[in-house]
Chain A
Amino acid sequence: MADCGSVLSDQVRLRASATKRALERACDAIPRVSELDPALGDRLVVRLQLLVRDIQDGLSDDNSAEATAELVDRGNDLIGETLAFVSGAAARHFNLDEGITSLALAWLDQLSGAADLEQVGVVIPASTEFTGMLTQVIRLRLPIDGIWGLPVAVHEYGHFVASKLVRREERHGITRTVVPIEELAYQAGAEADFPRLYWHGHELFADALAAATAGPAYVRYCIHHRFEPAAAQEITATHPEPARRIRIQLRALELLATGAQAPYIEDEASKLDDLWHAMAREAGRDPEVRPEPLLDNLEEQLLGCLDDYRLVRIRYTDQVNARVLAEGPLDQAHGPVTVATALNAGWVRRLKDAGDKSRDDIAADCERLIREALNSD
């Protein structure tokens, strides 16, 4: 009978060798992305190659089997992200995303600049949404629903921010760097020995940040396009139930209800709440969130994280201007606006026009405003 330890060790070496070969091919393939999409290539090729080499260098024979296994896992993740990156570049090249991921990337860069945070790697179209923490590549799911789906990029950005937002904290006379959102989610999960809470916390924070940054446009998109009312109470390993996600989004909107925009935001939040409740009830589902103390408590703490001064800087404060823009047809609108303002103006106009002008026409007007907003930097 063969020694069990040596078989395992053999297996790790074989996997390491396969990963190394795959990474080599990835290393060859990555620069060719620039042929498909120079913008993507410029932004990510060097970073990806460095990551690949970092793992390749680590996969030496001197490492323990445990360390090698960990590196192999990282390598596999990286290969997965590289595959997505290459296919995303191809999708962008063939304009499968209708240019929306470029807009999303420019928007997220603007937000990072305003919040003084690191920029994401790139935004690419994919079959599912995901934020790769190694490559910092944000994937947006196709079909993207045009500009209406743009706020989802901010939701994905929320995952990125959760892992990048650090602050210095002093405890017991020792100053250390903490990643507060990650820590909150991790501790909630660890204490309950329940990793689901970690993922759910991440999702809830991303939802809250998207609502606070994109304003009602994000919540509208979730309710009108994305969330299935029949699944209002469905919980998965990675995502909390839509009812809970809507609740945290609406609570994030409450944070925006200050100053002159307060009545507009409060009204929007109230209408969205009513709409979601009506849709869920019509689907025969309970729209209320069922109590789950650990997650309820985490939700509260995550909302508190939105008060970080960097996130306050990118908070949506422009609903009055969005309404001003929407007073007339958007094709005649101009002036300094932000992407979030343009999106919210689009929604106000879309709800107001109710059939007079097609949703696609409004989206086209809105897209022009968004491009103006992104080019004004």
Chain B
Amino acid sequence: MTDLVLATRVFVAKQNLERLQNLQDMVSRRYERVSAFLELPESLKQQVSDLYRQVLALKALDLPDGTPKELADGLQQMDVDLRAIRDDLEKRVKRVRRLREEFESLTNDRQDVDQFLVKAAEELHRTLTVENYWKQRKRCDALFSEYVDYLRGVAIRSTAFGDQEGLVSDLFVLADSLPALWGRPGGRTWKSLAVPSRVEQNEPTQASVLRIGFPEWTIWALPLLQHEFAHVVVEKNKGELAVVSRTERAILADALAGLVTGPAYACAQLLLRLDPTAVTKANALTALRSATILETMRRSAEAANDPALTVLVTRLGEEWSSVIASAGGDAAALDAARAAPEVASQIERAAAFLGLGDWTAADHLAPRWAERWATVVEWASKLTNGDPDEIGSGDADNRNGRLSEALGLLLDAAWLARVGPTPGADVSQDRLDTVAANTVARMREVVRASGHEAVINAVTTRTARS
């Protein structure tokens, strides 16, 4: 007998791992093919501008008497036509520029691909043998799964399909930027790729590809991604954030995501995702998770001493309790979970990890979004009232903090516009799409303006100088 089966499987696995190592090149090649095509509008615009200048120069000449009128008329017509073509090309150039940005966001400096997927594949390729194949098989499968997810994500994202709330691809660009809200968790900077998926992973992944679960490919579900990222953070900081169980990992992730994101996270989890019927004494996980989220919000509002935030957080707690009762869950299980010591301790660990000080002591810091809740209130009103252009995300951040903060504040503002502090203040259903579209547009601007780290650093330096 030979080890035919094993040798074949190892061979195939290694071949796939090699393919995986070339992932970045493969994606880049795809865009190289369209790159020349994408440059067309810019070069055409340049040529038309040259022609236009020549026509203007001709028009400026003093034509001698007796010059046929048709010549002057012809020049005038060319002037008008060329200007129209130039304006049209200008619009196309802008569209193409945006498309290029999206392509670049998929290909350039992909830390998730470079550092994790490719490196993990290299390492596995080097160490995989017939002797350890059965042990490593799960790791191989996980890597292949992420590889497929990544490719699928790139494919779906680059189709730039859309719906009423704007391009879904916009959402994924924004999703890529959300890790910036975390600053440098555990001293690491982070770039990651968010990809569409059927469900979120809710577990740490090899390459840290973040999945956005369908059907919630909307701005409202975007905060859910923070839970995924929180898992990545926990995984990458095992020393400081050691966990002993899946439940503990989940509630720590909720505390981290809540502290980093704010009520947008609580709203997304409680209103879109968590199952109120699952809040029972028998099923501790959902009770503990929702309790952690609510307690994180309550304690943040308390730390920031912001009455408007407190009103919203109180409402969320009441709404969640009420739906648990009406859906057949056990509201008392939620109350018990909110008082559970493990909930408090995970929130305190998360706060300490995020540099908010000792939350067991009286004097500690509030999360930035809580400190800036008035800005959120102001922006929510502008998103609702159709004045999104008046949102001075750049100005506010130059003065008060990092530019990337504006992304989180906008998410909170969108949710605050949707879920007011009181039921009467909720935005009407027919305005929801407008609020969502306004939010996406403003967040895209922030992402574009920030260019991420480069601009954020520049802003931080400027603020420090002033």
Given the interface pairs A260-B380, A263-B421, A332-B399, the reply to whether A324 lies near B375 with Cβ below 8 Å is yes
Q: Majority SS of interface residues in chain A?
A: helix
Which residues from chain A contact B401 at a C-beta distance below 8 Å? 328
Contacts of B372 in A (CB 8 A): 324, 327
Given contacts A263-B421, A327-B372, A335-B395, contact A320 B310 (CB under 8 A): no
Distance between A269 CB and nearest chain B CB, rounded to angstroms: 11
**What sequence of 0s and 1s flags, for each residue 387-404 of chain B, a beta carbon within 8 Å of any chain A beta carbon?**
000001001100111000
A196 within 8 A of B: no
Q: Report the interface size class on chain B.
A: 20 to 34
User: Are A260 and B399 closer than 8 Å at their CB atoms?
Assistant: no
Which residues from chain B contact A324 at a C-beta distance below 8 Å? Answer: 372, 374-375, 378, 396
Instruction: Enumerate chain B residues within 8 angstroms of A321, measured Cβ to Cβ.
Output: 374, 378
**Bound Cα distance from A322 to B466, whole angstroms:** 21
**Cα distance A321–B390 when bound, in Å?**
13
Contact B307 A327 (CB under 8 A): no
Within 8 Å of chain B (Cβ to Cβ): is A323?
Answer: yes
A26 at the interface (CB under 8 A from B): no
Q: How far is the CB of B412 from chain A (nearest CB, A)?
A: 14
Give CA–CA (A267, B421) in the complex, Å. Answer: 14
Contact B399 A264 (CB under 8 A): no
- Given known pairs A260-B308, A263-B307, the reply for A328 and B381 (CB within 8 Å) is no
Kindly identify which residue among A260, A266, A267 contacts B377, using a CB–CB cutoff of 8 Å. Answer: A260
B310 touches A263 (CB 8 A): yes
B381:A260 contact, CB within 8 angstroms: yes
The listed residue with most B CB atoms (<10 A of its CB), out of A264, A322, A333, A334, is A264
Q: How large is the interface on A (under 10, 10 to 19, 20 to 34, 35 or more residues)?
A: 10 to 19
Q: Is B371 an interface residue (CB 8 A)?
A: yes
Task: Report chain B residues within 8 Å CB of A327.
Answer: 371-372, 374-375, 400
CB contacts (< 8 Å) of A266 on chain B: these are 307
Contacts of A264 in B (CB 8 A): 307-308, 374
> Interface readout for B305-334 with A: 1 if CB under 8 Å, 0 if not?
001101100000000000000000000000
Q: Which residues of chain B are near A262, meaning CB under 8 Å?
A: 421
Against B, the Cβ 8 Å flags (1 = close, 0 = not) of A307-340 are: 0000000000000111110111000111100000
Closest residue of A by beta carbon distance from B307: A267
A321 to B376, CA, bound (A): 11
Within 8 A of A (CB), among B191-237: none
Residues of chain B within 8 A (CB-CB) of A260 are 308, 377-378, 380-381
By a CB distance below 8 angstroms, the chain A residues around B392 are: 335
**Would B311 and A323 count as touching, CB distance under 8 A?**
no
A103 CA to B377 CA, complexed, in Å: 30
**Is B400 within 8 A of A320, CB to CB?**
no
Chain A positions 260-279 with a Cβ under 8 Å from a chain B Cβ? 260, 262-264, 266-267
Q: Are A333 and B377 in contact (CB under 8 A)?
A: no
A267 partner residues in chain B, CB cutoff 8 A: 307
For residue A263, which residues in chain B have a CB less than 8 angstroms away from its CB?
A: 307-308, 310-311, 421
CB-based contact B421/A320 at 8 Å: no
Assess the A333–B374 pair: CB atoms within 8 A.
no
CA of A267 to CA of B309, assembled, Å: 12
CA distance A333 to B374 in the complex (A): 14
Among residues 142 to 169 in chain A, which have CB atoms less than 8 Å away from a CB atom of chain B? none
Which chain A residues border B400 with CB–CB below 8 Å? 327-328, 332
Taken residue by residue from 361 to 384, chain B's Cβ proximity to chain A (1 for < 8 Å, 0 otherwise) reads as 000000000011111011011000
8 Å CB interface, B428-466 against A:
466
Residues of the A chain whose Cβ atoms lie less than 8 Å from the Cβ of B374: 264, 320-324, 326-327
Contact A332 B466 (CB under 8 A): yes
Partner of A333, one of B307, B371, B399: B399
Alpha-carbon separation in the docked complex, A161 to B155 (Å)? 69
Shortest CB–CB separation between residue A311 and chain B, in angstroms? 24
What is the distance, in angstroms, from A164's C-beta to the closest C-beta of chain B? 34
Expressed in whole angstroms, the Cα–Cα distance for A255 and B416 within the complex equals 23
Give me the interface of A with B, judged by CB distance under 8 Å. 259-260, 262-264, 266-267, 320-324, 326-328, 332-335
29 contacts between A and B (CB under 8 A): A260-B380, A260-B381, A262-B421, A263-B310, A263-B421, A264-B307, A264-B308, A264-B374, A266-B307, A267-B307, A320-B308, A320-B374, A320-B377, A321-B374, A321-B378, A322-B374, A323-B374, A323-B377, A324-B375, A327-B371, A327-B375, A328-B399, A328-B400, A328-B401, A332-B400, A332-B466, A334-B395, A335-B392, A335-B395
Known: A267-B307, A327-B400, A328-B401. 5 other contacts (CB 8 A): A322-B374, A324-B374, A324-B375, A327-B375, A333-B399
Which 4 A-B residue pairs are closest in the complex by CB-CB distance? A323-B374, A267-B307, A263-B308, A328-B400
